[in-house]
A and B are shown apart, each in its own frame.
Chain A
Amino acid sequence: MRVSLEWLKDYVDIDLDPQELAERLTMAGTAVEGVERLGGGLEGLLVGRVLEVRPHPDADRLSVCKVDFGGQGVEIVCGAPNVRPGMLAPVAPPGVRLPDGSAIGEVTIRGVSSHGMLLSERELGISDEAAGIMELEGDLEPGASLARALEIEDTVLVLEITPNRPDCLCMLGIAREVSALTGAPLRKPSFVLREIDPPAAEDVLVEILDPDLCSRYCARLIEGLTIGASPWWMRRRLRAAGVRPINNVVDITNYVMLELGQPLHAFDYELVTDGHIIVRRASAGERMVTLDGVERALSTDELLICDPKGPVALAGVMGGEHTEINAGTTRVLLESAHFDPANIMRTSRTLGLSSEASYRFERGVDPSGCARAADRAAFLMDELAGGKVRRGVVDARAREISSSRLTLRVERAARFIGIPLREQDARAILESLELKVKESRCGEQGTVLEVEVPTFRPDLEREIDLVEEIARIYGYDRVPSTLPSSAHKVGMLTPGQKCRREAARVLAGLGLSEAVTVSFISERWLDRLDPSRAVFPEDPVRLRNPLSEDGAVLRPSLLPGLLEALRFNVNRRLSDVSLFEMGRAFLPLAGEAQPREPLLVACAMTGNWVPKQWDGAAQPVDFFTVKGVLERLAAALHVPGLTLVREELPFLHPSQSCRVRVGEASAGYLGLLHPRVCDEVDLPRNTAVMEIEFAPLEEAREEPYYREVPRHPALHMDLAVVVGEEVDAEELEEAIREAGGELLYEVRLFDLYRGEQLGEGKKSLAFNLVFCAMDRTLTDEEARKYFDRIVKALGAGFGARLRA
């Protein structure tokens, strides 16, 4: 909402400068988004009187004017068709600049010298009107400052009005706020309306057929109008408010809407059949052409203003083209009504059509103000357009309008806000907003005020709404800052939340950077990774109204997002990328409205794990890189029961693909991305991924418990065995542990070797074994005994032989 301060001062005196006023309004809930100064750039421009006009001796379209702008008349060559002797017009004397920056000099036009320029509104930068020079009105002195004469120097506050405050969508409402904040009295527009007989009701009939959508419809009849331009002051104010002037009658309806907040509509009475207004829902498929020239198909959700022949306006949104005010209009049927806010909002949204009127009706217009606004507009039509106002308002009411009453417990309000508040303070604030304190009583609850709420404040429905008004006008900035005094506060993270933080820290510490990817993905990703939907749900969670098909599915896995992030980097020549993400996935639950949203942690790595360095080779990412990440993570989180089991997943390399298990349950997967997928999505073949669900991991955590650290020297022995390729390292290690018994403290595989001398299908695995006893120093013989026992067990179990 744009508020001209020049206009606002009609209703309230303002001593503050515009910045201070903006600050006060902002701090009372009416945010000022901008302060615009109007009329800048007119310095040096003057009011001129055209004394004589004669044709240019050498150009048909030009005339030579003698213009007085203080002093002797000077000659100015002008091309405007509307220039005539006696008129007042803006002049730019030589040497000044126009608002667009161009300089005016003395020029000779086809042999006649021109000492200045007569200006159009467009040249002044105040409108797009360029057909002729601007005609000034009123009793102006030639040579006077144009800016002052036009009263165009003004400041406009651009306000953000919150949706709960429809009363602030007009000058009077803003003036009321200013009055409440500064204490300056509010001046409502006062006027005396002259009416003529016979009463309007003899020629106007209003019927409301759908009272649920229209509670009141006031109509007035004004005759004898002459359509023309509005006076300058009104056009100026409309423009300052951002409304384009059209003609006097239409301008008056807009002006009164801006002044009082009540949208009005003027019909050409002659075009409304029988002067009969019928307010009803559209019938299905009914059509009408609105003022903007668009034919609209309607449904029974839309409310229409009709005459007996058909629609004349889309109620509360836009008038009809057929009954529009035109140059020949002399009689006007003026509408001032109240429509259901929700219905207007729906209509406006459905049709994609909004207007100053619909904007106000959506938020709620004061139903008590209809007749007064009609009177005000009728008065101005009399004053400014020669109208004769027929007696009376035709006032159709679907129901009675009553103001509501609320109670306010003063001490409670004070406690709730946290301020000292006396009864008279509360009363003064409420009354400054035109709320009437009807009664005050003292009882068990302290001081209780009975407050009557005016109908222009539909947002005040409960005691808390009054408390808000008190706090707002009192000033939030004056409320002392405190902290809740309760002792019932124990701030902490749950063990699960701590575990997640730890996991993220561990992964970052291992060299993976955390990514955050968008939760919706393209379904193509699922087709690509898992065409037969062996892993991901066949019917993933879908959006009904995605922004595009690329984001139509809620991710069942973090993998698509991470792979896209890898590709984003690889495409930018960042070839070594290791990312992880922690976030929710969405898995449909049969029969449930909401999906399951497991928290997942996923990693995706490609390129080199360690880049080529000045004294070392690069270490490319492979299966064991990501396996190492998982092992570190499990160790750091104290999840001992985590295992990998071979399982072919459709998007993983068939021989480097594992299921991650916690205990017996699956928690996710890990492996090298299938080369087919790598090729399809343009990623290097050495891309490794893992994804695990957090909950089972969290549940399987075990608090570490002290395990004795050996105090006696340990014996280190290396064991290298040759086995068939089919033997798993893990099996061997388990067998070693079993055979090694209690004295075997640690086993670590440190070498894997394949070579001709071992023979086809054979490999050698070397383990470092650490033997020790907790109560004594082991002898070589003792350790050797267990070593031999291990060798024997491996031989028996796996055909292993010691490597020579």
Chain B
Amino acid sequence: MTSDETRGDDPGMREIELLREEAEAALAGAGSSADLEEARVNLLGRKGRLTALLQGIKDLPPDKKRMVGMQANLLKDWLEKALEERGEELRRRELDAELRAEKVDVTLPGRHLPFGTRHLVSAIIEEIEDIFIGMGYRVAEGPEVELDYYNFEALNTPHWHPSKSLQDTFYVDASASGREDVLLRTHTSPVQIRVMEATTPPLYVIAPGKAYRHDVPDATHSPMFHQVEGLAVDEGITLGDLKGTLEHFARRMFGEDRAVRFRPHFFPFTEPSAEVDVSCVICGGEGCRVCKGTGWLEILGAGMVDPNVFGYVGYDTEKFSGFAFGMGVERIAMLKYGIPDIRYLFDNDLRFLAQF
């Protein structure tokens, strides 16, 4: 049996065929979800033509009922599925068109969100702290207004030492308490004495903080600056331990490929003493303006704690030995980040602060 025959045979079947053709055209012709909905209502709505056809099946003669009923239901199933598919496609297309209409200039700046920075000096102090915490150190603090005893005497500095003069050290007016030996600490080293007075070895501490010297500000001097002091006291501490500790520190701070050297030097409170250099961060050791052609940058002073210092705090020099070191935070900042003038660090110019 051919469809022509079927169509020719029966007006019911012909109508089904007609509806199918119409439905196909309506689906293809629907340009929007609304068009499609209209087509659906037209065919499958309460008063839709397919709905009407389906409702009319019950009145057909029995011999046609089966055939037409089957065909009509097949058409309905097909139509519902086709409507859904076509609808999905139209919705996708419509959404896409909608989104494309929402075009923005993605190169406009992002929304302003609060943005502040840590001060470079604080950031470097934290970095130093973290390196030493990793090596088993704790962080100690001490007063900035100090007594001569802690700043000089107990650090084995002779009473006539030139650094104690009014040209080198800020003195604090403590006349109300009747004293003349009150000063702004000239280094963070007095914290060594305070820590040792308060505790017994073994001890491993670093002490960051402000220090003051009677210097007129210029590109390399500031009357206020920051230091980080270090102190390790234990049984059997050696000069080699000092070397190893500071080499580790210098490489973590300045880069694993940095060379480190220890030069003998003199400080009243350590013996033997050393100045520690790293290979120049600018030229890598070739020699340049920053390292004055030497290839080396001095970054800290260090040494084995002088037995006289242990004497002041009552440590047994036969049992314990130790090392101490001190470094200038601003100097490290200036070397590491190429800052030409120490005063820039205390201007607090936002254009400077925001860089770090």
Residues of A within 8 A of B (CB): 26-29, 31, 162-165, 342, 345-346, 349, 415-419, 462, 464-465, 467-468, 471-472, 476-477, 479-486, 488-494, 497, 501, 504-505, 507-520, 539, 541-547, 551, 554, 565, 568-569, 572, 574, 577-580, 582-584, 586, 588, 590-595, 597, 610-611, 613-614
Q: Is the CB of A462 within 8 A of B307?
A: yes
B244: A residues at CB distance < 8 A? 481-483
Is B289 an interface residue, CB under 8 A from the partner? Answer: no
Residue from the list A416, A467, A491 in contact with B136, Cβ < 8 A: A491
Q: Is the CB of A501 within 8 A of B264?
A: no
Q: Is the CB of B234 within 8 A of A594?
A: no
Question: Which B260-282 residues have C-beta < 8 A from chain A?
Answer: 261-266, 271-275
Residue from the list A504, A517, A551, A594 in contact with B146, Cβ < 8 A: A594
How far does the alpha carbon of A716 sit from the alpha carbon of B170 in the complex, in Å? 63
Q: Is the CB of A610 within 8 A of B350?
A: no
Interface size on B, residues (CB 8 A): 90
B303 to chain A, nearest CB (A): 9
How far does the alpha carbon of A31 sit from the alpha carbon of B354 in the complex, in Å? 39
Q: Is the CB of B144 within 8 A of A491?
A: no
Is B247 an interface residue, CB under 8 A from the partner? Answer: yes
Q: Is the CB of A472 within 8 A of B272?
A: yes
A546: B residues at CB distance < 8 A? 170
B108: A residues at CB distance < 8 A? 614
The 6 closest A-B pairs by CB, nearest first: A489-B136, A511-B114, A418-B240, A29-B264, A418-B238, A162-B266
Q: Is the CB of B116 within 8 A of A508?
A: yes
Q: Interface majority SS on B: helix, strand, loop or mixed?
A: mixed
Is B74 an interface residue, CB under 8 A from the partner? Answer: no
Q: Please judge, given known A-B contacts A345-B162, A565-B348, A614-B108, whether A509 and B204 are in contact too, CB under 8 Å.
A: no
Residue from the list A342, A510, A514 in contact with B160, Cβ < 8 A: A342
How far does the alpha carbon of A546 sit from the alpha carbon of B184 in the complex, in Å? 11
- Nearest CB in chain B to that of A26: its residue: B263
How far does the alpha carbon of A328 sit from the alpha carbon of B350 in the complex, in Å? 70
How far does the alpha carbon of A619 sit from the alpha carbon of B232 in the complex, in Å? 52
Residue of B126, B243, B348 contacting most chain A CB atoms (<10 Å): B348
How far does the alpha carbon of A593 sit from the alpha carbon of B179 in the complex, in Å? 7
A488: B residues at CB distance < 8 A? 202, 234
Q: Is the CB of B114 within 8 A of A510?
A: yes
Q: Please judge, given known A-B contacts A489-B204, A510-B114, A515-B119, whether A577 and B350 are in contact too, CB under 8 Å.
A: yes
How far does the alpha carbon of A633 sit from the alpha carbon of B138 in the complex, in Å? 26
Residue from the list A508, A520, A574 in contact with B350, Cβ < 8 A: A574
Q: Is the CB of B170 within 8 A of A543?
A: yes
Q: Is the CB of A597 within 8 A of B177?
A: no
B114: A residues at CB distance < 8 A? 509-511, 610
How far does the alpha carbon of A486 sit from the alpha carbon of B321 in the complex, in Å? 12
Q: Is the CB of A479 within 8 A of B240?
A: yes
B182: A residues at CB distance < 8 A? 593-594
A468: B residues at CB distance < 8 A? 264, 271-273
A163: B residues at CB distance < 8 A? 266
Q: Is the CB of B118 within 8 A of A504?
A: yes
Q: Is the CB of A489 within 8 A of B137?
A: yes
Q: Please judge, given known A-B contacts A488-B202, A497-B139, whether A508 and B234 are in contact too, CB under 8 Å.
A: no
B171: A residues at CB distance < 8 A? 543-545
- Nearest CB in chain B to that of A544: its residue: B171
- Nearest CB in chain A to that of B224: its residue: A518
A485: B residues at CB distance < 8 A? 236
B162: A residues at CB distance < 8 A? 345, 349
A-B contact pairs, 8 of them (CB 8 A): A164-B266, A464-B271, A464-B306, A484-B237, A520-B224, A568-B347, A588-B176, A613-B111
User: What sequence of 0s and 1s flags, for each residue 227-249 of chain B, a beta carbon within 8 Å of any chain A beta carbon?
Assistant: 00000101111111101110110
B234: A residues at CB distance < 8 A? 484, 486, 488
Q: Please judge, given known A-B contacts A472-B272, A488-B202, A614-B109, whether A515 and B348 are in contact too, CB under 8 Å.
A: yes
Q: Is the CB of B143 within 8 A of A594?
A: yes
A595 to chain B, nearest CB (A): 6
Q: Is the CB of B264 within 8 A of A472?
A: yes
Q: Is the CB of A541 within 8 A of B145?
A: yes
- For the A-B complex with A510-B116, A569-B349 known, give 15 more contacts whose Cβ atoms are closer than 8 Å: A464-B271, A476-B274, A485-B236, A491-B204, A514-B117, A515-B348, A516-B346, A519-B184, A545-B170, A545-B171, A554-B184, A574-B349, A574-B350, A580-B116, A583-B210
Q: Is the CB of A484 within 8 A of B350?
A: no
How far does the alpha carbon of A565 sit from the alpha carbon of B346 in the complex, in Å? 9
Question: Which B182-226 residues have C-beta < 8 A from chain A?
Answer: 182, 184, 202, 204, 210, 212, 214, 216, 223-224
How far does the alpha carbon of A417 sit from the alpha carbon of B240 in the complex, in Å? 6
A472 to chain B, nearest CB (A): 4
B27: A residues at CB distance < 8 A? none
Q: Please judge, given known A-B contacts A471-B239, A479-B239, A484-B237, whether A513 and B145 are in contact too, CB under 8 Å.
A: no
B144: A residues at CB distance < 8 A? 519, 584, 586, 597
Q: Is the CB of B172 within 8 A of A511?
A: no
Q: Is the CB of B348 within 8 A of A416?
A: no
- Nearest CB in chain B to that of A35: its residue: B293
Q: Please judge, given known A-B contacts A162-B265, A483-B135, A593-B177, whether A545 and B214 are in contact too, CB under 8 Å.
A: yes
B334 to chain A, nearest CB (A): 14
Question: Which B120-150 residues have C-beta < 8 A from chain A?
Answer: 121-122, 126, 129, 132-139, 143-147
- Nearest CB in chain A to that of B266: its residue: A162
Residue of B129, B158, B353 contacting most chain A CB atoms (<10 Å): B353
Is B304 an interface residue, CB under 8 A from the partner? Answer: yes
Q: Is the CB of A471 within 8 A of B264?
A: yes
Is B73 an interface residue, CB under 8 A from the partner? Answer: no
How far does the alpha carbon of A497 sit from the alpha carbon of B114 in the complex, in Å? 25
Q: Is the CB of B136 within 8 A of A593?
A: no
User: What sequence of 0s and 1s flags, for each residue 332-356 of chain B, a beta carbon within 8 Å of any chain A beta carbon?
Assistant: 0000000000000111111101100
A516 to chain B, nearest CB (A): 5
Q: Is the CB of A551 within 8 A of B238?
A: no
- Nearest CB in chain B to that of A583: its residue: B210
- Nearest CB in chain A to that of B308: its residue: A462
How far does the alpha carbon of A515 sit from the alpha carbon of B121 in the complex, in Å? 9
Is B6 an interface residue, CB under 8 A from the partner? Answer: no
B77 to chain A, nearest CB (A): 41
Residue from the list B112, B184, B212 in contact with A610, Cβ < 8 A: B112
B239: A residues at CB distance < 8 A? 416-418, 471, 476, 479
A345: B residues at CB distance < 8 A? 160, 162
Q: Is the CB of A492 within 8 A of B133?
A: yes
- Nearest CB in chain B to that of A545: its residue: B166
Residue from the list A416, A493, A586, A610 in contact with B321, Cβ < 8 A: A416
How far does the alpha carbon of A611 sit from the alpha carbon of B165 in the complex, in Å? 51
A471: B residues at CB distance < 8 A? 239, 264, 272
Q: Is the CB of B238 within 8 A of A29?
A: no
Residue of B126, B137, B241, B306 contacting most chain A CB atoms (<10 Å): B241
B241: A residues at CB distance < 8 A? 418, 482-484
Q: Is the CB of A592 within 8 A of B172?
A: no
Q: Please judge, given known A-B contacts A481-B247, A586-B145, whether A28 and B237 are in contact too, CB under 8 Å.
A: no
B204: A residues at CB distance < 8 A? 484, 486, 489, 491
How far does the alpha carbon of A477 sit from the alpha carbon of B277 in the complex, in Å? 12
- Nearest CB in chain B to that of A618: its residue: B112
How far does the alpha carbon of A246 sit from the alpha carbon of B6 in the complex, in Å? 140
A582: B residues at CB distance < 8 A? 122
B107 to chain A, nearest CB (A): 11
Q: Is the CB of A491 within 8 A of B133?
A: yes
Is B174 an interface residue, CB under 8 A from the partner? Answer: yes
Q: Is the CB of B135 within 8 A of A591?
A: no
Q: Is the CB of B272 within 8 A of A513?
A: no
A614: B residues at CB distance < 8 A? 108-109
How far does the alpha carbon of A507 sit from the alpha carbon of B111 in the complex, in Å? 20
Residue of A162, A418, A509, A591 contacting most chain B CB atoms (<10 Å): A418
A490 to chain B, nearest CB (A): 6
Residue of A507, A545, A590 contacting most chain B CB atoms (<10 Å): A545
How far does the alpha carbon of A516 sit from the alpha carbon of B109 in the complex, in Å? 30
A481: B residues at CB distance < 8 A? 240, 243-244, 247
